[in-house]
Amino acid sequence: MHAHTFQNVNPADSDDIIGLFPISNDDEVHAAVLAASTAFISWSKMPAPKRGDILRKAGDIFTRRKEELSAIMTREMGKPLFETLGDIQEAIDTAYYAATETRRLFGYTAPSEMDNKMNLSFRTPIGVCGIITAWNFPIAVPSWKILPALACGNTVVFKPSEDSPHSAHIFAEILEEAGLPAGVFNVVYGAGSTGSALVEHPSVKLIGFTGSTFTGKKIAERCGALNKKCSLEMGGKNAQIVMPDANIDLALDGVLWGAFGTTGQRCTATSRLILHKDIYDSFINALITKTTQIKLGNGSHPQTQMGPVINAKQLEKIQHYVAIARSEGATCVIGGDVEISGDCAKGNFYKPTIFIDVTPDMTIFKEEIFGPVLAVTKANSLDHAIKLANNCDYGLSSSLFTGNVDAAFRAIRDIEAGITYINAPTIGAEAHMPFGGIKGTGNGHREGGWTAFEIFTEWKTVYVDYSGSLQRAQIDNY
């Protein structure tokens, strides 16, 4: 057995120990990076469409193992089965997308400014990529990074969250079965110190990170000092705006799914609801009624709509924020406590919680909680609502419910966020579209679709001079 291990426990049932996983030390991280560096030599030279064939096969295996993997993921991180099935579907979509992209890793050609000279540019792989992720999308989020990285000819060392090592293990099994050569994809396990060893390793050329803004900024500092490429997908404090002319039933369904889907543990979760004053009271009343109907429980039971939070530490963090919200004068209209009855007795359950009369100076308006806690604020107008939405350090997702097309286009233009939904909740990204945020959420990169391929490639520019003479650019032609 490995000298140092950590326990993986079902967040819905503390008696259910999933297994012991190794804490990879510096030597093991080094061995994984060495394997990836060695494998890079041949993998990077394999014709890209052949790499695509392996990724397509991985998509087929994810499809075959979808139900089984969904049960494993629900047991490991708690969200209900219908959500974990969606998580895997995102990996399937990403695998097939990445496979087709290997036939389309386009570069640019442009005319030369000189006679008898040709200018071209090519995408080239970067080398060993270190991938570090959070636990809330244990298969989807790693797939967004790993599959495009591999398609581009890079090799990977993956450090999954310490809260979802089992899903990562299955991810590796699937890539192996798909025919990925040894050393192209490697997994190291553990918490921050294992991730840090990966960041520090001189042969790791790129870090792709998903997690909190706190950790992401620390990683970015180190990558800056070490001159490594670094893409960051970090926290959010996403707002849904509802105007009086909206389809109110749709807006209610939207906020329920946005705020309490995945137990509020999505970077894109709706954690702020901004209601126009004309519908403020009626909307809140309807929302409370609907929230009481949410079925909390073990995600592996088919009737469960909302599962546990990931661990005891996160449960404490939620309690801490709820206490602050109360002390700062927000009004809790539903929830506001842990759930310990029935099915929930042995897990980390928190009731769906709504605070109203939240003002921009309050902590729960500003800080990411990452739990089922919704902060409701009143707006006087669309402009006021957009101003409130933008009054935030993060800039990931946003949403507006309205029946007015002019309002929709103004919001699309004026809301400061990487993603804006019209008449849909703040969650629901599709795998082939750019994903990411501005302000405290990101550092200028986007995952998803074609934009991920920008992260995982370098450019090689080639000039071919067939004039037979020395042509000095900018000098001989002007």
d(C-alpha 389, C-alpha 243), whole Å: 13
Task: Decide whether 212 or 359 has the Cβ nearer to ligand NAD.
Answer: 212
Q: Which of 83, 233, 368, 447 is catalytic?
A: 233
Q: Are strands 353-356 and 331-334 parallel, antiparallel or unpaired?
A: antiparallel
Q: From the list 132, 184, 273, 400, which residue makes contact with ligand NAD (rule: CB under 6 A)?
A: 132
Identity of the residue numbered 409: F
Q: Among the candidate windows 62-70, 72-80, 131-139, 420-428, which touches ligand NAD by CB under 6 A?
A: 131-139
Q: Please report whether residue 28 would count as binding ligand NAD according to CB under 6 A.
A: no
Q: Please report whether residue 210 would count as binding ligand NAD according to CB under 6 A.
A: yes
Q: Among the candidate windows 19-27, 112-120, 231-239, 344-352, which touches ligand NAD by CB under 6 A?
A: 231-239
Q: Among the candidate windows 232-240, 328-336, 352-360, 383-391, which touches ligand NAD by CB under 6 A?
A: 232-240
Q: Please report whether residue 13 would count as binding ligand NAD according to CB under 6 A.
A: no
Q: From the list 94, 112, 196, 291, which residue makes contact with ligand NAD (rule: CB under 6 A)?
A: 196
In the complex, least distance from residue 361 CB atom to ligand NAD, rounded to whole angstroms: 22
Q: Please report whether residue 236 would count as binding ligand NAD according to CB under 6 A.
A: yes
**Is 152 tagged catalytic?**
no
d(C-alpha 212, C-alpha 210), whole Å: 7
Q: Please report whether residue 161 would count as binding ligand NAD according to CB under 6 A.
A: yes
Token pair for residue 234? 């970090």
Task: Decide whether 362 or 396 has the Cβ nearer to ligand NAD.
Answer: 396
Q: Please report whether residue 195 would count as binding ligand NAD according to CB under 6 A.
A: yes
d(C-alpha 383, C-alpha 237), whole Å: 19
Rounded to the nearest 5 degrees, what angle is found at the Cα of 156, between the Cα atoms of 151 and 157?
Answer: 160
**Is 129 tagged catalytic?**
no
107 φ, ψ to 5°? -110, -170
Contacts of residue 256, defined as CB under 8 A and 6 or more positions apart, other chains included, come to 287, 290, 291, 294
CA dihedral 80, 82, 87, 90 (to 10 degrees): -170
What is the pattern of x (binds ligand NAD, CB under 6 A) and - over residues 394-413?
A: --x-----------------
371 φ, ψ to 5°? -160, 180
Q: Please report whether residue 215 would count as binding ligand NAD according to CB under 6 A.
A: yes
Q: Which residue is nearest to ligand NAD (CB)?
A: 195
CA–CA distance from 475 to each of 92, 113, 134, 424 (Å)?
Answer: 53, 11, 53, 56
Task: Decide whether 107 or 192 has the Cβ nearer to ligand NAD.
Answer: 192
Q: Please report whether residue 9 would count as binding ligand NAD according to CB under 6 A.
A: no
Q: Please report whether residue 219 would count as binding ligand NAD according to CB under 6 A.
A: yes
Q: Please report whether residue 309 would count as binding ligand NAD according to CB under 6 A.
A: no
Q: Which of 223, 267, 344, 392 is catalytic?
A: 267
Token pair for residue 360? 């921009």
435 φ, ψ to 5°? -130, 130
Q: From the list 234, 284, 354, 375, which residue makes contact with ligand NAD (rule: CB under 6 A)?
A: 234
Q: Please report whether residue 136 would count as binding ligand NAD according to CB under 6 A.
A: yes
Contacts of residue 169, defined as CB under 8 A and 6 or more positions apart, other chains included, come to 21, 187
In the complex, least distance from residue 270 CB atom to ligand NAD, rounded to whole angstroms: 13
Q: From the list 11, 52, 125, 235, which residue makes contact with ligand NAD (rule: CB under 6 A)?
A: 235
- Annotated catalytic residues are 233, 267
The residues of the shown chain that bind ligand NAD, judged by CB under 6 A, are 132-137, 141, 159, 161-162, 191-192, 195-196, 199, 210-212, 215, 218-219, 233-236, 267, 368, 370, 396, 441
